A and B are shown apart, each in its own frame.
Chain A
Amino acid sequence: METFIVKRDGKKEAFSIEKIKSAIRKAFLSVGSFATDEVITNILCRVNITSGVTVEDIQNQVEIALMSERYYAVAKAYMIYRQKHLEDREVRDKLEFLMEYCNAQNAASGSKYDANANVENKNLATLIGELPKSNFIRLNRRMLTDRIKDIYGKEVSDRYIDLLNNHFIYKNDETSLANYCASITMYPWLISGTASIGGNSKAPTNLKSFCGGFINMVFMVSSMLSGACATPEFLMYMNYFIGLEFGDDYYLDTDRIVDLSKKQRTLDKVITDYFEQIVYSINQPTGARNFQAVFWNISYYDSYYFNSLFENFLFPNGSKPHWESLNWLQKRFMKWFNRERTKTILTFPVETMALLSENGDAKDKEYGDFTAEMYAEGHSFFTYMSDNADSLSSCCRLRNEITDNGFSYTLGAGGVSTGSKSVLTINLNRCIQDSARKGKHYLFFLEEVVDLVHKVQAAYNENLKYMQEKGMLPLFDAGYINMSRQYLTIGVNGLVEAAESLGIEITDNPRYEEFVQQVLGLIEYYNKKYRTKDMMFNCEMIPAENVGVKHAKWDKRDGFRVNRDCYNSYFYIVEDESLNIIDKFRLHGRKYIEHLTGGSALHMNLDEHLSKEQYKQLLRVAVQEGCNYFTFNIPNTVCNACGHIDKHNLRECPICKSHDLDYLTRIIGYMKRVSNFSESRQIEAAQRHYATVSEL
């Protein structure tokens, strides 16, 4: 029988003794020596070839044989030769990736490691961002495992890598060195400009310097985060500066001419021009972020939330925030932004409306009405509703408990500062199906995994503290972000799929409820167990645009039951047409989200817009069901032929009648063209079920 060896690319080839002999001869020649047949035979006597042996293994054996025969200089030359080839292969692989990226359909398909990049087009700058990603993954892993070894020992560290490599868990944003996302307090910037975070701009003194400085500040902060930067005080601060210039009652007459140039702009025009400057600038691709736009979030508040968050707040001049004018400014911004979005595709800011609820409805009637009105006008934003202003969602999905509504003269409002340091996700479907395969109860294995991810996150926290000690994290030092108010996040993915594998029906029923409570309750139990003075944990159902596709692919490959190409980010099966809109609110209601301390966002996909009255009723439904964070998602149409943007979900462009259309839909909370998704995500978007609003 012929002997085969396995090459590096996995292909088989007939074994050839001549190739080994030739390599040995070359190694001898390279040190100015010559290998006689006898020498070669002695070396080869020590090499054991069986069918199926790998090239790597043969070369290892040759190395040892050379040393055993005491040809040390030759062995060294041989090793250096091998290392050089290894490096060549790495360069070749990178080159291959580079070519593939250039040929890919768009930036997201080309991306190998983080397919959800919020990048519109592929180009040299985005490619530059892609190339070092694999190195970052190695570096991040090494830093983390070294720390785990230090704290918990090698066994835990090895187990982490084992679970990671076998896709039981997934480390999010491993391609970046920065901590994840943050909702910042802008007070330190208001007092001292950007100097404390390494910039050179002074504190803003007027509306113009506020608007310009704000853009720079958001760029700077974002460059030190791998995820979103939320500025929940943006409009409140802007309102302060408008008030300084035009009086707190400026909103009572915005039609007056305040611009004495030839343009003769009204106050309203001056304000909306600033909106334009800020929003368009921040939506630009950013050089420092590999041509990604920064991920920017803002918040709106009803009067109750406003009071609760800012009742003790004082601006540097000693004045309090002015609600009546802010009320006007919030509405003006929202209306302006909605209209602007029919002119250009504007992804950011992601907006969240915070409403307090009481007796099954919005407590602030004016804001409940306004929220419904904006949805009816086709605006796309999130609503956070709570019966107690003790929590807030200021990030795209992150919910935080407000433990401190106080005011500090150096840090401003306490309630707005939060974020997630790092996300580590558990693939529930694999964990639970694998336990079943091995004939064990899933809770035993799950508990081991949950315990381990907490240890890993604790180790990450130590690394972050180390970075801070070395002065690497000015956002923390300057007080924009507070280390002890940031969470370590345990993500979950494949929850619905795991329940399906146990034969549980995915509807509002006691068995499903029990399963969800049990799994998420276990995580919450460990969140509390591992909590310390400077370490808080939360749990969130991660938006699965990227990870959900990967998990589904890996699990399918390894023979697990996989019912769809992208694991759900919801408590229901997205394509299940038997569930109506109210059922979906119920499945994202209090019984199911109770232990999701980090939140989850219900994206209610509809195929058309509803009326204001209907949205008002759905806000009541959300309150009744205890669904605290949601948005309505109606695909907007973009005509590729004439550029027309329409808030409706259309099959034909109403302007030029073209059928070359694209659709804007939400992805992790922000609007994006469907054709900019990675290929697998486009398939998912096409399959995404938009609830029919009509039976007609």
Chain B
Amino acid sequence: MKLRNVIMLQYLNYNIVFQEVPGEVTLAINLSNCPNRCKGCHSPFLQENKGDVLDEAVIKALLAKYGEAITCICFMGGDADPQMVGQLCSYIKSYTNGQVKTAWYSGKQKLPDGFDVMQLNYLKLGPYVESLGGLDSPDTNQRFYVIVRGELMDQSIFFQKKKGFPSGILLQDSCN
């Protein structure tokens, strides 16, 4: 019990975002206590042990406030307690009857053993490596997957294609 308390999920804040999960209106929850310590991390404040506990009650409250307006909830981080991420994803699915999708931005190279990928619609894997850059960098090591019937379909290319649209014809063929 004591161990669980130490590594429970904590969140610092949340926001409505559009680029992390293509095509979705996403409530991104920024989880703190990140264990990955990537060099050049763009939000080092998320490495600190601070914020409020994130549990089903908090998710329920967020859904009451934004559930009708969003199409997806994305956990940004949470590698300190992947089990809890899975549990909350499962909660979101059952509570909204599958109306709200789930996404997870993990900094690990692969999913932890025993993680039920069926709880997710979208998944980002891979630590941030400064020399390779993030998902929008052509050399990135990070991968973005859409999960279809339990299979991970690599859609990282989406984040590459965004660059260099001719002006006036934006995002036309890339997001549907």
Chain A contacts to B: CB under 8 angstroms: 338-339, 341-342, 360, 376-378, 580-582, 585, 608-614, 617-618, 620-621, 624-625, 644-648, 654, 692-696
Tally of contact residues, B, Cβ under 8 A: 34
Main SS at interface, chain B: loop
- Report the separation of the CA atoms of residues A670 and B68 in the bound assembly, to the nearest whole angstrom: 31
Q: Could you tell me if A647 and B168 are in contact, using CB atoms closer than 8 angstroms?
A: yes
Which residues of B lie under 8 Å from residue A341 when comparing CB positions?
168
**What sequence of 0s and 1s flags, for each residue 60-75 of chain B, a beta carbon within 8 Å of any chain A beta carbon?**
0000001011110000
* B95: Cβ under 8 A from any A Cβ: no
B134 in contact (CB, < 8 A): yes
Flag if A582 contacts B20 (CB, 8 Å).
Answer: no
Bound together, the chains give a CA A647 to CA B16 distance in angstroms of: 22
**Closest A residue, CB atoms, query B19:** A694
Contact A695 B170 (CB under 8 A): no
Question: Which of B21-29, B50-58, B112-120 is the interface stretch?
Answer: B21-29
CB pair B15–A695 under 8 Å, yes or no, is: yes
Interface contact A617-B25, CB-CB below 8 Å:
yes
Q: Name B139-174 residues within 8 Å CB distance of A.
A: 164-165, 167-172, 174
B30 within 8 A of A: yes
Cβ of B71: which chain A residues have Cβ within 8 Å of it? 617
A693, B25: Cβ atoms under 8 Å? no
Whether A611 lies near B20 (C-beta < 8 A) is: no
A582 touches which of B70, B164, B170 (Cβ 8 Å): B70
Q: Is the CB of B16 within 8 A of A376?
A: no
With A580-B16, A611-B22, A614-B18 known as contacts, the answer to whether A646 contacts B69 (CB < 8 A) is: no
Please determine whether A624 and B69 come into contact, CB atoms closer than 8 angstroms: yes
The answer on a CB contact under 8 Å between A377 and B19 is no
Q: In the complex, how many angstroms separate the beta carbon of A175 from the nearest chain B beta carbon?
A: 38
- Closest chain A residue to B13, Cβ basis: A578
| Cβ contact within 8 Å between A694 and B20 | yes
- Are B18 and A694 in touch, CB under 8 angstroms? yes
Q: Known contacts A694-B17, A695-B76, A696-B20: does B66 contact A582 (CB below 8 Å)?
A: yes
Partner of B170, one of A618, A621, A647: A647
What are the residues of chain B within 8 A of A696 when measuring CB–CB?
19-20, 42, 134-136
> Contact between B25 and A376 (Cβ–Cβ < 8 Å)?
no
Q: Output the least CB separation between B148 and chain A (Å).
A: 17
The interface residues of chain B lying within 8 Å CB-to-CB of A581 are 16
The 5 A-B pairs at the shortest CB distance, nearest first, are namely A611-B175, A694-B19, A580-B16, A613-B23, A693-B18
B97 at the interface (CB under 8 A from A): no
Complex alpha-carbon distance, A39 and B25, angstroms: 89
Q: List 26 A-B contacts (CB under 8 A).
A: A341-B168, A342-B167, A360-B68, A376-B175, A377-B169, A377-B170, A377-B171, A378-B167, A580-B16, A610-B18, A610-B171, A611-B22, A611-B171, A612-B171, A612-B175, A613-B176, A614-B23, A614-B24, A617-B25, A618-B25, A624-B68, A624-B69, A692-B15, A694-B19, A694-B20, A695-B28
